[in-house]
Amino acid sequence: MTQTIQPVERVSGAVALPGDRSISHNLALVVSLAEGTSKITNFATGSDSHAILAKLRELGIGMEVDGTTVTIHGRGLDDSLLHSLPLPRTPKAAELFHGLFAEGQTVVREPSMLPDHTEIAIRALGGDVKSVRRVITLEGRPKLESRELVVPCDLSLAACFLVAALLVPGSQLVIRNVGLNPTRSTLLDFLFSIGARIRVMRIESVNGELVGDIEVKQTPIQGGVMDGVTALELAEEMPALAVLGAVSERGLVVRDAAEWRLAEAGRLGNLAENFARMGVQLELTPDGMRIPGKQKFQPTAFDSFGDHGIAMACGVAALRADGPSTMEDAEAVDQVFPDFWSVLERMAQG
């Protein structure tokens, strides 16, 4: 599929984005191990998230899917599921899910503060899990109870819309019901540090997760320097941040980030190729990346290379070009956000 993106005068309005993928994954797993029927509202819409539901069906977990509402009939802590569940990728989450089936206590020590969606999901369904100074203690064999649950909107997917509003003059955008978990705050912290005008308008706790509305207004961005730790935490959002860096005053430099540079080599090479097509400089260094500021985007024919992050970021950059651009393999966004192009067009129309 080829998508045409027109330049716009401003981005405005209010938008609700798909549910957080990580939270959706964790909740689907935990309610499958609960007794009774649970309902999850605003479940993530991407194909990767629905692949997890398909795997649970293969394991005999009953469910109904109605748009973004998923009803799951839990089987309880059925030991036959232990080695078949599609567990989250992080070692900590895998240890905690295995700990649910264990007798007695499971203790997990974190080397640094990591996302705590698994702990929150287990606690929301009645499990006994505590965290003190990065030491997590879980009581095994709990009786997890069914619940009605709501998934916050995905902050990682909000990154492109935040960047769109920051780079298009005169823009003002509100993003509703975004997940604001403190362990996932690096994106907002970094945007604040480079001068972004962002305001959290409302905040509340929903099933143990912090959720709020974010208002963003177009702001002259100063740009800045990012270290390796931050680059690893923001790997998913980096294509969008690279776009913002190119129009900032001082640009964006990522340094002391050899691990990130190696892990993201393929994606960064594809991003650099698309930037070159726009006439924008992006230099990849052995330990990072350097993007000069005050650059302008030329209209071009992009290639997503099957990467949803590149497709969305370049789509946002095209809003500031001086003519229409096209995106080849635009359906790459379906992996995480099938309605991305229609939502972007609606926001661009104000």
Do 277 and 300 meet the contact criterion of CB atoms below 8 Å apart?
A: yes
Q: Name the stretches of the chain with pLDDT < 50.
A: none
Residue 184 burial (CB count, 10 A): 22
Residue 349: per-residue pLDDT: 74
pLDDT at position 350 is 62
Say what the pLDDT of residue 156 is: 95
pLDDT digits (tens, 9 = 90+) for 221-234: 999 999 999 999 99
Token code pair at residue 94: 């895998």
Q: How do the domains of the chain map onto residue ranges? A: 3-18+152-349, 21-150
For the beta carbon of residue 189, count every other beta carbon within 10 angstroms: 11
Superfamily of domain 3-18+152-349: Enolpyruvate transferase domain (3.65.10.10)
Burial label for 280, CB within 10 Å (0-12, 13-18, 19+), is buried
Q: Which two tokens stand for residue 111?
A: 């080397």
- Are 3-18+152-349 and 21-150 equal in CATH topology? yes
Q: Angle, nearest 10°, between helix axes 186-193 and 155-167?
A: 20
At 191-201, the pLDDT tens digits run: 999 999 999 99
What pLDDT, in 10s, does the model give residues 106-140? 999 998 888 999 999 999 999 999 999 899 999 99
Residue 64: strand, helix, or coil: strand
Task: Answer for the pair 87, 118: CB distance below 8 angstroms, yes or no.
Answer: no
Give me the pLDDT at residue 44, please.
98
Q: What's the pLDDT at 117?
A: 96
pLDDT in the model for residue 348: 84
Cα Rg of the chain (Å, integer): 21
Q: Please name the helix (run of DSSP H) or strand (run of DSSP E) that holds residue 346, with its range, or none.
A: helix 340-349
Please determine, looking at this structure, whether the domain spanning 21-150 carries the CATH number 2.60.200.30: no
**What SS3 state is found at 134?**
coil
pLDDT in tens, 304-333: 999 999 999 999 999 999 999 999 999 999
How far apart are alpha carbons 47 and 29 in whole angstroms? 17
What pLDDT does residue 42 have?
A: 98
pTM of this prediction? 0.95
